[in-house]
Structures are given as C-alpha cells and as structure tokens.
C-alpha cells in the first residue's frame, strides 16, 4: 500500500501520521502543498493535523485552496481513499469533500486530552478493525472541533451509516456527538481525534493502531 | 475601488465567542444585552472594473464558508 501525506506550512502531525502508516506496513511519501500532483499509484492520502497557514481566515480554508488540494479532490472524486485528521478534517470540509463544518469549541477552550471515542460503524476500511460500539481511548487536541451540519446532512449521515466515531462525553459541542464522518462512498474519513497519537506503546496507548492496520490490510492488494 | 465584506455566522449557528462577549458585558454591569453575534470585516482594495459579481465569487469561494456563514458586500 502506498500512502501520501500532505504537508502544509503549519502542519505538525504530518510526521506522526507518516510513522503510523509506515508502522502498519505502508510505503509513505510526503507531498508539499505547492505540488500539483500526487505521487503515482497512491492508494490513500493522509491530510494531517496542525495549524495549516496559521488557521488564518478559517481553519483549513487556505489549505483547501492550495494546489495539492485540487489533486486530493480529484483523487477523492475518482474513488481514492483520503484520511483527514484534526486540521485535516477541517481541510476536507473546507474543500467540500466532506459535508458540514468545524466550529469553535462550544466552551471556547483549546482542549488537549485523551477522550473516549465510540466506534459508530465498523463498515469502512478505517473502522473494520473495531466492532461497532467499541469505546477506544484516543487523544484530541483542537480549538475548532465543534461539528456542525444542517438537518438534512445529519439525516443523511445517520441514515447512510456514515458517522464513523462519536464522543462518549462530548467535549466541544459537536452535533450528535459526532467526532468523525465518512464520505458517501465510505472511502474518505475525516475525524477530529488523533489515532496516530495512539499508535505506539510509547504514546501511552495503542487504540489507534487498528485503524492504520485495517487500512493497510485492505489496501495492500488494491 | 474598495469593497468591504461582512461575514457573519448564519442564524441558528451557535456563536460561542459572541456568547462569551455577552457574558463579559453582563459581568461589566451592562444590562439588557440579549445577544451578541461576532463576525468579520474584510476590506478589499480592488482594481477598477472589478464587479460585484467578482466579489461575490471571492466570498463564496474563499472569504465565507457558505455552510455556516453568510456575507454582505459594500462597494465604494
């Protein structure tokens, strides 16, 4: 499996994401925001956490209009896999690849702690290493993680089983406790929590490993 | 020419910053502040001939996130 991890000015989880992909057995190539093309034969694109472009204007708004994001959009449109974590999730909503938006946390505070995350569906390459209903411990670290979508979008997400993860104890005001969602074709996942920060015993937890292992196993023969 | 773009969260979208400002005003003794909504003002210095349609396109493509925000353009 070949993964590409996008790097924007201000990304700070790019290396962690690359390490998590590699540990699961993937070949990883980093791509710069000014690149106009993804490496050939990329199976999955990782859009990492951080503060792309200093969160200017809105989190992810400037990154979403960078040259590489046009390539990421094209990749998603032709059925490619994309994993956006934290700022990466914000970038994916800003590009329109995923619906909704991430607002300022309801309590206004930047929150950095490990939270309980409920796996809402196991029906995706990202979550099939878990059972629906499992509660895993994954860190969050964000200021703007308050998921918002209109009623029709929420209905579609629930009706199509596209809510991937929910918070067991909503930290940020997200509608319906939503922490991560899937695209209609289930190949794009955006999530605020950081599975790549719980992917090695040195992190203090390994509950995120199953996500990367499942992706690597599924896409190994893709 | 100049354009001033006002970007506001849509009605119904929670504005925690506005709420915090409302609480702070109350704490300062200002009574009767029933609601505060906080937005952005973006000033654009534009080449002559730029149309309102151009500015609207800028708003919809970048300056506002139409999922959560609305905008108003004043040209001068």
Catalytically active residues of A are: 86, 194, 196
pLDDT digits (tens, 9 = 90+) for A91-149: 999 999 999 999 999 999 999 999 999 999 999 999 999 999 999 999 999 999 999 99
ipTM metric: 0.89
- Cβ within 8 Å of residue A75, ≥6 positions away: A38, A42, A45, A82
Share of chain A above pLDDT 70, in %: 99
Q: In terms of pLDDT, which residue wins out, B14 or A66?
A: A66
Judge whether residue A222 has pLDDT over 70: no
Q: How many domains does chain A have?
A: 1
For chain B, say whether A134 makes contact (Cβ under 8 Å): no
Q: Angle, nearest 10°, between helix axes A87-95 and A67-77?
A: 70
Enumerate the β-bridge partners of residue A210.
none
Find the CB nearest A173 among B14, B61, B63. Answer: B14
Q: Which domain holds residue B64?
A: 2-75
Q: What is the mean pLDDT of residues A67-73?
A: 98
Please give the residue range of the domain that contains residue A119.
2-219
Tell me the CATH number at B13: 3.30.1280.10
CB A31 within 8 A of CB A68: yes
Identify all chain A residues contacting B67, using CB atoms and an 8 Å cutoff: 93, 99-101, 148-150
Q: How many other C-beta atoms lie within 10 A of the C-beta of residue B70?
A: 15
Confidence of residue B76 (pLDDT cuts 50, 70, 90): confident
Q: pLDDT per residue over A42-59, tens digit each? A: 999 999 999 999 999 999
CATH number of the domain where residue A125 is located: 3.40.50.880
The SS3 assignment for A202 reads helix
């Amino acid at each position: 499996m070949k993964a590409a991890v996008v790097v924007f000015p201000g990304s700070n989880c790019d290396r962690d994401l690359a390490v998590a992909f590699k540990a699961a057995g993937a070949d990883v190539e980093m791509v710069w925001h000014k690149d106009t093309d993804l490496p050939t034969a990329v199976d999955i694109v990782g859009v990492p956490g951080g503060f792309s472009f200093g969160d200017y204007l809105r989190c992810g708004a400037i990154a979403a209009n960078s040259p590489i994001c046009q390539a990421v959009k094209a990749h998603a449109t032709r059925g490619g896999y994309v994993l956006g974590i934290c700022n990466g999730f914000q970038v994916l909503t800003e590009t329109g690849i995923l619906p909704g938006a991430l607002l300022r946390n309801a309590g206004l505070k930047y929150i950095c702690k490990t939270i309980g995350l409920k796996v809402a569906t196991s029906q995706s390459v990202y979550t099939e290493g878990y059972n629906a209903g499992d509660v895993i411990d994954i860190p969050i670290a964000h200021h703007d993680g308050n998921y918002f979508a209109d009623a029709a979008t929420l209905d579609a997400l629930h009706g199509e089983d596209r809510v991937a993860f929910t918070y067991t104890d909503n930290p940020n005001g997200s509608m319906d406790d939503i922490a991560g969602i899937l695209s209609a074709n289930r190949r794009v996942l955006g999530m605020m929590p950081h599975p790549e920060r719980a992917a090695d015993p040195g992190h203090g937890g390994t509950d995120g490993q199953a996500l990367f292992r499942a992706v690597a196993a599924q896409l190994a023969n893709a | 020419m100049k354009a001033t773009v006002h970007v506001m969260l849509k009605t119904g979208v929670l504005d925690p910053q506005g709420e915090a400002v409302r609480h702070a005003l109350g704490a300062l003794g200002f009574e009767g502040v029933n609601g505060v909504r906080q937005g952005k003002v973006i000033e654009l210095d534009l080449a002559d001939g730029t149309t309102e349609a151009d500015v609207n396109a800028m708003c919809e493509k970048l300056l506002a996130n139409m999922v959560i925000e609305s905008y108003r353009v004043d040209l001068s």
